[in-house]
Structure 1
């Protein structure tokens, strides 16, 4: 009887329940470390992937592409079609034990609107954010915004009291290389807490005992050890030797042999991400070229020549080992506004490309630097090297300057590049996200922060802005098509392909590829039989 009472008491306190849960550590490796832990500072998938374990947004997008409530229990338009109302989950706790309220949501969304935040474009249509009661928030947009909830899946909520107490009230300004308390410290509501962090080396996360989702999600992974390993060969070697359990950035050249290794599990799927070239068409003179006094990329025939010089099929075969889907548009098929006609891409035609260069006034070509990341996308530096070879065939002498994505993204955000390889995922699954960040005039109305091309078109800007307030879906889709027609014609971006992803892990883990390339470890099940 005494033993039964003791067991009941332990179960009530949660101590016995915790002791019965088998500790499951997953050592997780990617090619790069997040640039910061500040949830509103940068707009990169590498950051979002890790931060989704620590922080939570109002809504998430599940691996099947559907919106699901996270901190928000429900969301809906009010009688006013320009006002969205979000009902918050009761009892959600931050990692410091404090309860989340509407005040934290209002604070966080306003923090993400700050000039230093790279996420502000997601909230460019917002007129006001208000608290209705402790568990209700309303967001009023500048007109009916049909897809506003889609914009929230990477907008994390943090504690207002914690941020203010620690001098992190404003989002970190990564452009000035300054830090705040949130750069290296966290206080989220997610399933894992930050236990330790060594930048570019090792980040350890522990399961949060008071997580609101306990009992709703598997939560079988109790500890995460995040290990950034830049070298693809070293990353794969670490997996094969058992030093890591899960590799998310799998080199294309190793996929075949890893699939054949019965000690591993390899999963594959298309990513919601396009890889493309950006061209500075707006400058009077390029900074990284031997052409002085004019800008060869401003010439439409030069841009067409570059597009024709590139053999996308050869990149798929020789560089990507089949793990790419060549395309002529910088939007993957998941996105509203994507059309197969736009995705058609030109076959390589060296003779025609040379002819166009000569007609544009560059019969002998010119020299230019192609800036490239070397640790972010599948075989990114190798793609750039291949492009350098293709362009060399038509007389454009291209020097590849490869660098880590943290430096590369900063240069693009500062428009300090003329010609660059880049990738873009679309978490909203709508073309407006692409237009807001990559097409709209840079810095105008909070839009265009990642538009390093110098492209500016007042008519297109007006069309893009209208997408945030058009209540008629048919009219909105027609505007999206019109914008794409202009983007395709102007060629300030040259699409290469959509990525195909592969994950590799020990057999005890079954982690399907997500189109967002985001893993929610609270959903991962661990096979005990495979241990």
Structure 2
């Protein structure tokens, strides 16, 4: 599938000339990767960090184009069968060879209980070993974008996982840990050297890496720094070399420092709000005996009560793009003609609530992270203030993502915030993960409010198999219209990227907000 490179590629800086001297880059991020297990959390920060250690059969280059990694080549041998020729001579960090057995093991692990990556495997029927370096993947129906879907399904060593009692993924929902959360053994360009959760994680260049590492960085130190002020101070004082995100109010100060600059660009992530539409009674609400979010009028009232332009102006300082869709520009299937929000109208919202039987409003708890997205807690505070004007009292629970994600992923929520970057850069990804009816195979795995429209499911399966672009795009548009008419979720905006980078560091900023260490150089 093609997509707009001008919007997706982001800002690419030229690579510096490699030197023999060991170079170190120190990164300060507002949050930490919650685990080193590549199948434990389908979150871009987590996958960005672990993607330096682990690799998939395919991956992305500096322009987000699909490229061979552990698979040298692939082709469809029938409408439902893909054959992958695996790269020979690749070794895991412990020196063991990479073979087809590791692929079969990793696919089964990613599809198993506790995995957060099941939405990438739910339409796979079987994975078969054809030879030591050949595998076949059979899908339940024709699936022309399967290679794109597999770019974030990282391969683990079967032997290492068995030896370390890590054959099943770390389950963040249940608080289950194993060796894979704190140690790692991949094939990637960097090795995990030390892991101190929420303190510091360090990586070292893989001297026996099978491929080319474009940058000259040898050591990477990754430190979570939750305080915006502390993070900026660390950059300006030289204690760290890269920070993410840059607080919007500090962009000018960093650019004027002479020591660092801010790299800004579009991001593919859509920030949205979800509502429990399944339970007969909400877990956390003043309404007893029924669920107000099952009523479309209530969902629309919440939508029209949110002053998204005000949030863009005052909270995001202009660094966001209000949206009516669950995808934005740069994602295949996006249609600007459909990207028209319902008007902000508190009076209409109050009438909708009254018509639904909530003339005096009601109370509900809203769950939000405070260290994952740009100004996430502040956005939720603004939404709460907007809803208060129409009679809805929000009990806001903002917390670190380390406790936030396990809570909402086990659906222990009534009203929540989530951000989503389609890992395939195609609309099918959010349709499958966010908008399909929930099942036990991975469909709708992140549809945490259990929105369900059988017509959406029917079209999503057709979109998955369709090879004619015009027919496919028409079906995507139909799904978006159905979802918008249902008020299935409350889309807010696409946030912008803002990284603070020391003047002697060169790197590549990707629109998916991944930060590959292999592209980093120190001058």
Root-mean-square deviation (CA), in Å? 1.7
Residues 279, 372 of structure 1: alpha-carbon distance in 2 compared, 3 angstrom cutoff? same
Q: Contact (CA 8 Å) 1:275, 1:496: kept in 2 or not?
A: yes
Shift of 1:173: 2.2
Mapped to 1, the partners of 2:410 and 2:138 lie a distance apart of: 31
1:172 is aligned to 2:170: yes
Query: Which of 193, 199, 203 does residue 195 from structure 1 map onto?
Result: 193
Higher relative contact order (CA 8 A, sep 6+): 2
Compute the TM-score of the two structures, normalised by the length of structure 2.
Answer: 0.93
Q: Which contiguous aligned blocks of 4+ residues in structure 1 show a shift greater than 6 angstroms?
A: none
Give 1:367's aligned residue.
Answer: 363
SS at match of 2:51: helix
Q: Distance in 1 between matches of 2:470 and 2:44?
A: 31
Task: Name whichever structure is richer in helix by fraction.
Answer: 1
> Are 1:267 and 1:512, in contact at CA under 8 Å, matched by a contact in 2?
no
> Which stretches in structure 2 are left out of the alignment for 5+ residues?
1-17
Q: How far apart, in 2, do the equivalents of 1:20 and 1:285 lie?
A: 62
- 1:64 equivalenced with 2:60 (yes/no): no
* Partner of residue 10, structure 1: none
Q: State the distance in 1 between where 2:434 and 2:514 align.
A: 22
* Alpha-carbon distance in 1 for matches of 2:299, 2:230: 38
What does 1:200-349 align with in structure 2 at a 5 Å threshold? 200-213=198-211, 216-349=212-345
Please say if residues 36 and 47 of structure 1, whose CA atoms lie closer than 8 Å, have aligned partners that are also in contact: yes
**Shift of residue 326, structure 1, vs aligned partner:** 0.6
Q: Secondary structure at the match of 2:274?
A: strand
Larger radius of gyration, structure 1 or 2?
1
Say yes or no: does 1:411 pair with 2:410: no
Query: What is the CA–CA distance in structure 2 between the aligned matches of 1:271 and 1:118, rounded to whole Å?
Result: 23
Deviations 1:356-385 (A, max 9, x none): 222222121111111101000000000000
Report how many aligned residue pairs link the two structures: 506
C-alpha distance in structure 2 between counterparts of 1:381 and 1:185, whole Å: 32
Partners in 1 of 2:475 and 2:342 — Cα distance?
Answer: 25
- Counterpart of 2:498 (choices 492, 497, 502) is 502
Shift of 1:522: 0.8
Where 1:27 maps in the other structure, the secondary structure is strand
- Whether contact under 8 Å (2:25, 2:522) holds in the other structure is no
Unaligned runs of 5+ in 1: 1-18
1:126 is aligned to 2:144? no
Shift of 1:473: 4.1
- Preserved contact between residue 368 and residue 377 of structure 2 (Cα < 8 Å): yes
CA change 1:283–1:312 in 2 (3 A) is same
* 8 Å Cα contact 1:34-1:46 kept in structure 2: yes
Cα distance change, pair 186–445 in 1 and its aligned pair in 2 (3 A)? closer
8 Å CA contact 1:307–1:494 kept in 2: the answer is yes
Question: What corresponds to 1:96 in structure 2?
Answer: 94
Shift in Å, 1:480: 2.1
In 2, Cα distance between the equivalents of 1:84 and 1:226? 37
CA distance in 1, matches of 2:437, 2:181: 29
